Structure 1
Protein backbone atom coordinates (compact mmCIF):
# COMPACT_ATOMS: atom_id res chain seq x y z
CA UNK A 1 0.00 0.00 0.00
CA UNK A 2 1.32 3.47 -0.83
CA UNK A 3 0.76 6.82 0.83
CA UNK A 4 -2.17 8.93 -0.22
CA UNK A 5 -1.60 11.40 -2.98
CA UNK A 6 -3.57 14.61 -2.91
CA UNK A 7 -4.23 16.61 -5.95
CA UNK A 8 -6.61 19.04 -7.46
CA UNK A 9 -8.18 17.48 -10.50
CA UNK A 10 -8.92 19.95 -13.30
CA UNK A 11 -10.71 18.04 -15.98
CA UNK A 12 -13.11 18.52 -18.86
CA UNK A 13 -15.34 15.67 -20.01
CA UNK A 14 -16.97 15.23 -23.42
CA UNK A 15 -19.25 12.83 -25.20
CA UNK A 16 -17.57 11.31 -28.24
CA UNK A 17 -18.94 12.17 -31.68
CA UNK A 18 -16.65 9.77 -33.56
CA UNK A 19 -14.27 7.15 -32.17
CA UNK A 20 -10.58 7.58 -32.95
CA UNK A 21 -8.59 4.53 -34.08
CA UNK A 22 -8.55 2.50 -30.85
CA UNK A 23 -5.78 0.14 -31.96
CA UNK A 24 -3.32 3.05 -31.73
CA UNK A 25 -4.13 3.65 -28.04
CA UNK A 26 -3.07 1.93 -24.81
CA UNK A 27 -6.02 0.14 -23.18
CA UNK A 28 -6.75 -1.16 -19.67
CA UNK A 29 -9.89 -2.76 -18.30
CA UNK A 30 -11.44 -0.83 -15.42
CA UNK A 31 -14.06 -1.84 -12.88
CA UNK A 32 -15.11 0.56 -10.22
CA UNK A 33 -17.73 0.84 -7.54
CA UNK A 34 -18.89 3.50 -5.15
CA UNK A 35 -19.08 3.10 -1.38
CA UNK A 36 -20.86 6.43 -0.98
CA UNK A 37 -24.49 6.90 -1.98
CA UNK A 38 -26.05 9.41 -4.35
CA UNK A 39 -26.44 12.72 -2.54
CA UNK A 40 -23.38 12.25 -0.30
CA UNK A 41 -21.15 15.34 -0.19
CA UNK A 42 -18.03 13.36 -1.17
CA UNK A 43 -17.37 10.39 -3.42
CA UNK A 44 -15.53 7.31 -2.15
CA UNK A 45 -14.60 4.96 -4.99
CA UNK A 46 -12.91 1.59 -5.36
CA UNK A 47 -11.19 0.96 -8.68
CA UNK A 48 -9.34 -1.90 -10.27
CA UNK A 49 -7.39 -0.75 -13.30
CA UNK A 50 -5.14 -3.12 -15.19
CA UNK A 51 -4.47 -5.28 -12.12
CA UNK A 52 -3.80 -2.38 -9.70
CA UNK A 53 -6.26 -1.43 -6.95
CA UNK A 54 -7.14 2.03 -5.62
CA UNK A 55 -9.33 3.76 -3.04
CA UNK A 56 -10.16 7.32 -4.07
CA UNK A 57 -11.88 10.18 -2.27
CA UNK A 58 -13.21 13.04 -4.42
CA UNK A 59 -14.95 16.27 -3.46
CA UNK A 60 -18.00 17.77 -5.09
CA UNK A 61 -17.37 20.14 -7.95
CA UNK A 62 -17.33 20.30 -11.72
CA UNK A 63 -14.23 21.46 -13.54
CA UNK A 64 -12.06 21.59 -10.38
CA UNK A 65 -12.25 18.92 -7.66
CA UNK A 66 -10.09 17.70 -4.78
CA UNK A 67 -8.90 14.14 -5.21
CA UNK A 68 -7.02 11.85 -2.79
CA UNK A 69 -6.05 8.38 -3.89
CA UNK A 70 -4.23 5.49 -2.24
CA UNK A 71 -3.16 2.24 -3.79
CA UNK A 72 -4.49 -0.77 -1.88
CA UNK A 73 -3.83 -4.48 -2.29
CA UNK A 74 -6.18 -7.01 -3.88
CA UNK A 75 -7.33 -8.42 -0.51
CA UNK A 76 -8.30 -4.96 0.75
CA UNK A 77 -10.13 -4.26 -2.52
CA UNK A 78 -12.06 -7.54 -2.35
CA UNK A 79 -12.94 -6.95 1.32
CA UNK A 80 -14.50 -3.56 0.47
CA UNK A 81 -15.99 -4.46 -2.95
CA UNK A 82 -19.30 -5.86 -1.57
CA UNK A 83 -20.09 -2.38 -0.15
CA UNK A 84 -20.40 -1.12 -3.74
CA UNK A 85 -23.22 -3.50 -4.75
CA UNK A 86 -25.65 -1.72 -7.08
CA UNK A 87 -23.21 1.17 -7.70
CA UNK A 88 -20.69 -0.30 -10.14
CA UNK A 89 -19.52 0.15 -13.68
CA UNK A 90 -17.08 -1.41 -16.10
CA UNK A 91 -15.26 0.13 -19.00
CA UNK A 92 -12.14 -0.03 -21.09
CA UNK A 93 -9.95 3.03 -20.70
CA UNK A 94 -7.87 4.03 -23.70
CA UNK A 95 -5.07 6.53 -23.15
CA UNK A 96 -3.65 8.68 -25.91
CA UNK A 97 -2.45 12.12 -26.92
CA UNK A 98 -3.84 14.72 -29.27
CA UNK A 99 -1.57 16.08 -32.05
CA UNK A 100 -0.49 18.99 -29.77
CA UNK A 101 0.61 16.51 -27.09
CA UNK A 102 -2.39 17.02 -24.77
CA UNK A 103 -3.24 13.71 -23.14
CA UNK A 104 -6.71 12.22 -23.06
CA UNK A 105 -8.50 9.23 -21.52
CA UNK A 106 -11.26 7.64 -23.58
CA UNK A 107 -13.73 5.45 -21.69
CA UNK A 108 -15.74 2.86 -23.62
CA UNK A 109 -18.40 1.58 -21.22
CA UNK A 110 -19.68 -1.99 -21.22
CA UNK A 111 -22.70 -3.75 -19.76
CA UNK A 112 -25.82 -1.65 -19.23
CA UNK A 113 -23.87 1.56 -19.94
CA UNK A 114 -22.87 0.46 -23.47
CA UNK A 115 -22.54 2.03 -25.99
CA UNK A 116 -21.67 5.18 -23.97
CA UNK A 117 -18.23 6.62 -24.76
CA UNK A 118 -16.72 9.60 -22.90
CA UNK A 119 -13.37 11.35 -23.23
CA UNK A 120 -11.63 13.29 -20.46
CA UNK A 121 -8.77 15.76 -20.63
CA UNK A 122 -6.89 16.91 -17.51
CA UNK A 123 -5.26 20.32 -17.22
CA UNK A 124 -2.72 22.09 -15.02
CA UNK A 125 -5.00 25.10 -14.52
CA UNK A 126 -8.58 26.25 -14.95
CA UNK A 127 -7.27 28.79 -17.47
CA UNK A 128 -5.75 26.05 -19.61
CA UNK A 129 -9.00 24.09 -19.40
CA UNK A 130 -10.96 27.14 -20.54
CA UNK A 131 -8.62 27.78 -23.45
CA UNK A 132 -8.82 24.18 -24.72
CA UNK A 133 -10.36 23.72 -28.15
CA UNK A 134 -11.54 20.12 -28.53
CA UNK A 135 -10.87 18.28 -31.77
CA UNK A 136 -13.72 17.45 -34.15
CA UNK A 137 -14.10 13.88 -32.86
CA UNK A 138 -15.09 15.18 -29.42
CA UNK A 139 -18.82 15.70 -28.93
CA UNK A 140 -20.77 17.80 -26.43
CA UNK A 141 -18.98 19.12 -23.34
CA UNK A 142 -20.58 17.42 -20.31
CA UNK A 143 -18.09 18.63 -17.69
CA UNK A 144 -20.73 20.38 -15.60
CA UNK A 145 -23.49 17.83 -16.26
CA UNK A 146 -23.57 15.72 -13.08
CA UNK A 147 -25.48 12.96 -14.89
CA UNK A 148 -22.23 12.03 -16.69
CA UNK A 149 -20.12 11.63 -13.57
CA UNK A 150 -19.07 8.04 -13.10
CA UNK A 151 -20.86 7.87 -9.75
CA UNK A 152 -24.12 9.03 -11.35
CA UNK A 153 -23.67 6.56 -14.21
CA UNK A 154 -23.11 3.74 -11.70
CA UNK A 155 -26.23 4.79 -9.74
CA UNK A 156 -28.63 5.85 -12.49
CA UNK A 157 -27.37 4.56 -15.83
CA UNK A 158 -27.03 6.53 -19.06
CA UNK A 159 -28.90 9.86 -19.07
CA UNK A 160 -32.05 9.70 -21.16
CA UNK A 161 -32.50 5.94 -20.91
CA UNK A 162 -35.64 4.85 -19.06
CA UNK A 163 -34.07 1.90 -17.21
CA UNK A 164 -32.21 2.35 -13.96
CA UNK A 165 -28.93 0.55 -13.46
CA UNK A 166 -28.58 -1.73 -10.48
Structure 2
Protein backbone atom coordinates (compact mmCIF):
# COMPACT_ATOMS: atom_id res chain seq x y z
CA UNK A 1 0.00 0.00 0.00
CA UNK A 2 1.37 3.40 -0.93
CA UNK A 3 0.79 6.62 1.00
CA UNK A 4 -1.47 7.84 -1.81
CA UNK A 5 -3.93 5.02 -1.14
CA UNK A 6 -7.06 5.98 0.79
CA UNK A 7 -6.79 4.07 4.05
CA UNK A 8 -9.46 2.69 6.33
CA UNK A 9 -8.43 2.05 9.94
CA UNK A 10 -11.12 0.35 11.97
CA UNK A 11 -11.80 -2.00 14.83
CA UNK A 12 -14.81 -4.32 14.73
CA UNK A 13 -16.64 -5.97 17.63
CA UNK A 14 -19.61 -8.21 18.27
CA UNK A 15 -22.42 -6.55 20.22
CA UNK A 16 -23.03 -7.56 23.83
CA UNK A 17 -26.23 -5.50 24.06
CA UNK A 18 -27.82 -2.72 22.05
CA UNK A 19 -27.01 0.83 23.17
CA UNK A 20 -29.40 3.76 23.39
CA UNK A 21 -29.99 4.66 19.74
CA UNK A 22 -31.92 7.90 20.37
CA UNK A 23 -29.05 10.05 18.99
CA UNK A 24 -28.18 7.68 16.13
CA UNK A 25 -29.39 7.71 12.55
CA UNK A 26 -30.34 4.57 10.65
CA UNK A 27 -30.37 3.51 7.04
CA UNK A 28 -30.71 0.25 5.14
CA UNK A 29 -27.62 -1.21 3.50
CA UNK A 30 -27.63 -3.91 0.87
CA UNK A 31 -24.33 -5.07 -0.49
CA UNK A 32 -23.03 -7.80 -2.72
CA UNK A 33 -19.53 -9.01 -3.54
CA UNK A 34 -18.20 -9.57 -7.04
CA UNK A 35 -15.10 -11.24 -5.63
CA UNK A 36 -14.66 -14.37 -3.53
CA UNK A 37 -13.67 -13.97 0.16
CA UNK A 38 -10.29 -15.60 -0.48
CA UNK A 39 -9.39 -13.07 -3.20
CA UNK A 40 -6.71 -10.57 -2.17
CA UNK A 41 -8.87 -7.72 -3.47
CA UNK A 42 -12.50 -7.21 -2.50
CA UNK A 43 -14.90 -5.58 -4.94
CA UNK A 44 -18.26 -4.70 -3.45
CA UNK A 45 -21.48 -3.11 -4.66
CA UNK A 46 -23.32 -1.21 -1.94
CA UNK A 47 -26.67 0.48 -1.75
CA UNK A 48 -27.05 2.85 1.23
CA UNK A 49 -30.66 4.02 1.10
CA UNK A 50 -30.78 5.65 -2.36
CA UNK A 51 -27.00 6.01 -2.84
CA UNK A 52 -25.08 3.43 -4.91
CA UNK A 53 -21.34 2.69 -4.66
CA UNK A 54 -18.62 0.48 -6.05
CA UNK A 55 -15.86 -0.21 -3.52
CA UNK A 56 -12.48 -1.88 -3.88
CA UNK A 57 -10.57 -2.91 -0.74
CA UNK A 58 -7.11 -4.43 -0.37
CA UNK A 59 -5.07 -5.49 2.62
CA UNK A 60 -5.60 -7.40 5.84
CA UNK A 61 -6.45 -6.55 9.44
CA UNK A 62 -7.49 -3.20 10.88
CA UNK A 63 -5.64 -1.06 8.29
CA UNK A 64 -6.68 -1.53 4.66
CA UNK A 65 -6.76 0.42 1.44
CA UNK A 66 -10.27 1.42 0.38
CA UNK A 67 -11.49 3.16 -2.76
CA UNK A 68 -15.18 3.92 -3.11
CA UNK A 69 -16.91 5.66 -6.00
CA UNK A 70 -20.56 6.57 -6.49
CA UNK A 71 -22.18 4.83 -9.46
CA UNK A 72 -25.43 5.26 -11.36
CA UNK A 73 -28.41 2.91 -11.00
CA UNK A 74 -27.84 1.53 -14.50
CA UNK A 75 -24.26 0.55 -13.63
CA UNK A 76 -25.35 -0.95 -10.31
CA UNK A 77 -28.10 -2.98 -12.00
CA UNK A 78 -25.69 -4.32 -14.65
CA UNK A 79 -23.20 -5.49 -11.98
CA UNK A 80 -25.64 -6.65 -9.25
CA UNK A 81 -26.34 -10.10 -10.82
CA UNK A 82 -22.59 -10.87 -10.45
CA UNK A 83 -23.12 -10.83 -6.67
CA UNK A 84 -25.71 -13.63 -6.58
CA UNK A 85 -25.01 -15.88 -3.59
CA UNK A 86 -22.71 -13.26 -2.02
CA UNK A 87 -25.08 -10.65 -0.56
CA UNK A 88 -26.03 -9.22 2.82
CA UNK A 89 -28.64 -6.78 4.03
CA UNK A 90 -28.47 -4.88 7.28
CA UNK A 91 -29.68 -1.86 9.18
CA UNK A 92 -26.79 0.45 9.95
CA UNK A 93 -27.02 2.79 12.93
CA UNK A 94 -24.43 5.58 13.19
CA UNK A 95 -24.11 7.45 16.45
CA UNK A 96 -21.71 9.25 18.79
CA UNK A 97 -19.62 7.36 21.32
CA UNK A 98 -18.97 10.48 23.39
CA UNK A 99 -15.19 10.41 22.93
CA UNK A 100 -15.03 12.05 19.52
CA UNK A 101 -15.62 8.76 17.71
CA UNK A 102 -18.70 7.44 15.96
CA UNK A 103 -19.99 3.89 16.10
CA UNK A 104 -21.41 2.07 13.10
CA UNK A 105 -23.75 -0.61 14.42
CA UNK A 106 -24.85 -3.23 11.89
CA UNK A 107 -27.95 -5.30 12.63
CA UNK A 108 -28.09 -8.00 9.98
CA UNK A 109 -31.36 -9.00 8.32
CA UNK A 110 -32.73 -12.13 6.70
CA UNK A 111 -30.57 -15.25 6.74
CA UNK A 112 -27.84 -13.42 8.68
CA UNK A 113 -29.95 -12.66 11.76
CA UNK A 114 -29.32 -12.36 14.68
CA UNK A 115 -25.78 -11.15 13.95
CA UNK A 116 -24.95 -7.68 15.29
CA UNK A 117 -21.55 -6.04 14.89
CA UNK A 118 -20.19 -2.59 15.64
CA UNK A 119 -17.15 -0.87 14.20
CA UNK A 120 -15.27 2.32 14.89
CA UNK A 121 -13.04 4.07 12.35
CA UNK A 122 -9.88 5.94 13.33
CA UNK A 123 -7.52 8.49 11.82
CA UNK A 124 -4.37 6.68 12.94
CA UNK A 125 -3.34 3.20 14.02
CA UNK A 126 -2.23 4.70 17.35
CA UNK A 127 -5.77 6.01 17.96
CA UNK A 128 -7.17 2.58 17.10
CA UNK A 129 -4.80 0.83 19.51
CA UNK A 130 -5.55 3.32 22.31
CA UNK A 131 -9.34 2.95 21.94
CA UNK A 132 -11.19 1.50 24.94
CA UNK A 133 -14.49 0.00 23.81
CA UNK A 134 -17.64 0.83 25.78
CA UNK A 135 -19.24 -1.91 27.87
CA UNK A 136 -21.94 -2.67 25.27
CA UNK A 137 -19.25 -3.85 22.83
CA UNK A 138 -18.56 -7.58 22.91
CA UNK A 139 -15.64 -9.65 21.67
CA UNK A 140 -13.32 -7.99 19.15
CA UNK A 141 -13.39 -9.60 15.69
CA UNK A 142 -11.24 -7.09 13.74
CA UNK A 143 -8.81 -9.76 12.53
CA UNK A 144 -11.26 -12.69 12.32
CA UNK A 145 -11.85 -13.31 8.60
CA UNK A 146 -15.10 -15.18 9.39
CA UNK A 147 -16.64 -11.85 10.48
CA UNK A 148 -15.78 -9.94 7.32
CA UNK A 149 -18.93 -8.92 5.51
CA UNK A 150 -17.82 -10.71 2.35
CA UNK A 151 -17.30 -13.97 4.30
CA UNK A 152 -20.72 -13.62 5.94
CA UNK A 153 -22.28 -12.94 2.52
CA UNK A 154 -20.92 -16.22 1.15
CA UNK A 155 -20.81 -18.60 4.12
CA UNK A 156 -23.30 -17.08 6.55
CA UNK A 157 -22.95 -16.20 10.21
CA UNK A 158 -19.98 -17.89 11.92
CA UNK A 159 -21.01 -20.77 14.15
CA UNK A 160 -18.98 -19.40 17.06
CA UNK A 161 -20.56 -17.77 20.09
CA UNK A 162 -21.72 -14.30 19.10
CA UNK A 163 -21.28 -12.59 22.45
CA UNK A 164 -18.33 -11.48 24.51
Both proteins in one fold, TM over 0.5: yes
Provide the secondary structure at the position in 1 that maps to 2:36.
Answer: coil
The residue aligned with 1:164 is: none
Structure 1 gaps, min length 5: 162-166
* Superposition map of 1:22-61 within 5 A: 22-61=21-60
Q: Indicate the residue corresponding to 2:73 in structure 1.
A: 74
What pairs with 1:120-139 in structure 2 (closer than 5 Å)? 120-139=119-138
Q: Which runs of 5+ in 2 are unaligned?
A: none
Distance in 2 between the 1:23 and 1:91 partners?
A: 19
Give TM-score, length-normalised by structure 2.
Answer: 0.92
After TM superposition, what 4+ stretches of structure 1 lie above 3 angstroms from structure 2?
none
Q: Distance in 1 between matches of 2:159 and 2:18?
A: 21
Cα pair 2:62 2:142 within 8 Å, conserved: yes
Question: Aligned partners of 2:91, 2:5: CA distance in 1, in Å?
Answer: 25
Figure out how many residues of one structure are paired with residues of the other and give that number.
Answer: 157
Give the 3-state SS of the residue equivalent to 1:96 in structure 2: strand
What is the deviation of 1:104? 1.1
